[in-house]
């Protein structure tokens, strides 16, 4: 009877999870759908707690309370600008839970696991462990505890691939000889190392791909947990998470023109190349906030291109304020969102939504690219590589082939930029030297505040 109840709650939870994700296909229905998914989660937890197997509640209660105490501020207090590192650390927690359940399972059953169960447990701790350290590294880079730049050294690929091959070898050995505990724990240690090495050579601009990839790994670890302990709702939820991370990695890598293998193996072989093109002899034109404001005030269509610089400066509210002033003067404002703008999928959309920009003003690359020609001003705020025309016409450029926003097709381009330092990929940007381009130097937030002040007087 109790078993039936438990299985029923799992079934209902699975259905609610799938419906919850389906609700995310439309912004209007999304919130309600995810609330149902949360109810599904609650049901599954209750269903588990009434099981015969669970005989003591002291440690469970402790974990639930502690987790809630830590979880609530992580949900309510973290600012939207810190969302990439928040997501990265949550992948770590998810993978940690999966790994520890796997270790506990091995500790209890060890040699008696049998080949199929051992494969599941092995998969679980392998993906779990490398996601734990990988996500923590991603978190550290995004939080700037460790350098956000790519760390590379000679022979890096050889080291990584060797490590990977050895670990997979151990995994295969364990399926045949599950009783060898030394190999099991060594494999976990190596997987932890792989996680570190995997993220070490990845620079800030590549973070969206890595975060998506770790998302997928965390999901697969959860699914493997389901195989190991024979629980279908875990398999389903893990598969959904794995599929989601996988799709996002592909979307992100396409938007950066990186190959499929490059995604699967993360950073392997992705050593950053330096640009062949130098900017010597070219000059840029700078513009005062006053002149820029006049241009914006008389524009019929302004397309705003936000990038990571806007997130760093936390300037999204000033952007919205400026947009409202342009609209008051009779201009139309649209936002062009590149898939990899920022540090995770959808980063810019969340920030602008936080600043009360209605989401029907946010346009994907494919929707907006045809409109730049009609735009009087393209206002580039802290974006660099995603508007670099070299991706279109310079075969020697490392970003050649990457789809970009056609900001250079606009009548005028105003670029808000901190300094003339090149972007994260370290590539010169021809757009800045274009005749139609003027640069407004300074911190994005300060520049936007000046623009807002000037707009009010125009």
Site residues for another protein, 322-351, by CB under 8 A, read 337, 339, 344-347, 349-350
Enumerate residues 381-400 that contact another protein by CB under 8 A.
none
Q: Which is nearer to another protein, 86 or 417 (CB)?
A: 86
x/- contact string, 78-107, with another protein (CB under 8 A)? Answer: x-x--x--xx--xx-xx-xxx-xx-xxx-x
> Could you give the angle at the alpha carbon of 314 between the alpha carbons of 313 and 320, nearest 5°?
115
Q: Which is nearer to another protein, 27 or 401 (CB)?
A: 27
Residue 370 in contact with another protein, rule: CB under 8 A: no
Residue 113 in contact with another protein, rule: CB under 8 A: no
Pick one of 48, 157, 186, 449: the residue that binds another protein (CB under 8 A): 48
Residue 354 in contact with another protein, rule: CB under 8 A: yes
In 3-state terms, what secondary structure has residue 410? coil
Instruction: Give the C-alpha separation, 221 to 234, whole Å.
Output: 10
Enumerate residues 238-267 that contact another protein by CB under 8 A.
238-245, 247-248, 251
Q: Which is nearer to another protein, 50 or 165 (CB)?
A: 50
Instruction: Give the C-alpha separation, 418 to 431, whole Å.
Output: 15
Q: Which is nearer to another protein, 156 or 244 (CB)?
A: 244
Q: Which is nearer to another protein, 16 or 416 (CB)?
A: 16
Q: What is the DSSP letter of 286?
A: B
| Most distant CA atoms of the chain, gap in Å | 81
Catalytically annotated residue among 385, 408, 435, 443: 385
Q: Tell me how far CA of residue 203 lies from CA of 224, 266, 343, in angstroms.
A: 30, 12, 10
In 3-state terms, what secondary structure has residue 223? helix
Residue 22 in contact with another protein, rule: CB under 8 A: yes
Instruction: Give the C-alpha separation, 104 to 101, whole Å.
Output: 5
Phi, psi of 279 (to 5 degrees): -100, 15
Q: Which is nearer to another protein, 293 or 440 (CB)?
A: 293
Residue 12 in contact with another protein, rule: CB under 8 A: no
Residue 195 in contact with another protein, rule: CB under 8 A: no
CB 336 within 8 A of CB 373: no
Stretch that binds another protein, among 7-15, 260-268, 274-282, 416-424 (CB under 8 A): 7-15
Residue 5 in contact with another protein, rule: CB under 8 A: no
Of 233, 234, 214, residue with least CA distance to 224: 234
Is 385 an annotated catalytic residue?
yes
Tokens matching residue 55:
């005989």
**C-beta atoms surrounding 31 within 10 Å:** 10
Shortest CB 388 distance to another protein, Å: 20
CB 409 within 8 A of CB 333: no
Shortest CB 370 distance to another protein, Å: 17
Instruction: Give the C-alpha separation, 260 to 270, whole Å.
Output: 12
Tell me which residues are annotated as active site: 385
């Amino acid at each position: 009877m109790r078993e039936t109840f438990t299985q029923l709650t799992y079934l209902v939870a699975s259905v609610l999870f799938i419906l919850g994700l389906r609700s995310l296909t439309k912004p209007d229905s999304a919130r309600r759908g995810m609330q149902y998914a949360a109810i599904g989660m609650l049901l599954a937890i209750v269903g588990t707690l009434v099981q015969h197997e669970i005989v003591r509640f002291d440690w469970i209660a402790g974990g639930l309370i502690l987790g809630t105490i830590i979880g609530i501020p992580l949900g309510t207090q973290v600012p939207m600008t810190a969302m990439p590192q928040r997501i990265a650390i949550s992948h770590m927690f998810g993978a940690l839970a999966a790994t520890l359940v796997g270790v506990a399972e091995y500790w209890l059953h060890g040699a008696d696991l049998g080949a199929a169960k051992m494969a599941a447990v092995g998969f679980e701790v392998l993906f779990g462990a490398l996601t734990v350290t990988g996500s923590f590294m991603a978190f550290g880079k995004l939080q700037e505890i460790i350098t956000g730049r790519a760390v590379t050294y000679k022979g890096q690929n050889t080291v990584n691939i060797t490590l990977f091959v050895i670990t997979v070898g151990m995994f295969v050995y364990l399926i045949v000889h599950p009783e060898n505990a030394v190999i099991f724990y060594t494999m976990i240690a190596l997987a932890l190392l792989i996680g570190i090495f995997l993220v070490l050579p990845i620079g800030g601009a590549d973070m969206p791909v890595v975060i998506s990839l770790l998302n997928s790994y965390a999901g697969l670890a959860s699914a493997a947990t389901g195989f190991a302990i024979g629980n279908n709702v875990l398999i389903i939820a893990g598969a959904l998470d794995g599929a989601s991370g996988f799709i996002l990695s592909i979307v992100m890598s396409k938007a950066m023109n990186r190959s499929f293998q490059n995604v699967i193996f993360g950073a392997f072989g992705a050593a950053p190349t330096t640009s062949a093109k130098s900017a010597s002899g070219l000059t840029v034109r700078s513009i005062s906030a006053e002149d820029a404001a006049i241009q914006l005030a008389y524009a019929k269509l302004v397309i705003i291109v936000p990038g990571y610089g806007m997130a760093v400066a936390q300037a999204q509210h000033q952007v919205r304020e400026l947009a409202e002033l342009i609209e008051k003067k009779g201009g139309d404002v649209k936002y062009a969102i590149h898939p990899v703008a920022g540090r995770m999928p959808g980063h810019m959309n969340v920030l602008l939504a936080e600043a009360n920009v209605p989401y029907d003003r946010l346009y994907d690359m494919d929707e907006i690219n045809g409109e730049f020609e009609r735009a009087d001003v393209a206002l580039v705020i802290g974006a660099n590589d995603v508007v670099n025309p070299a991706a279109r016409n310079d075969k020697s450029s490392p970003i050649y082939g990457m789809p970009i926003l056609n900001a250079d097709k606009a009548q005028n381009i105003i670029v808000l930029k901190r300094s003339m330092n090149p972007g994260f990929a370290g590539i010169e940007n021809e757009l800045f030297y274009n005749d139609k381009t003027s640069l407004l130097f300074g911190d994005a937030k300060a520049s936007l505040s000046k623009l807002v002040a000037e707009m009010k007087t125009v």
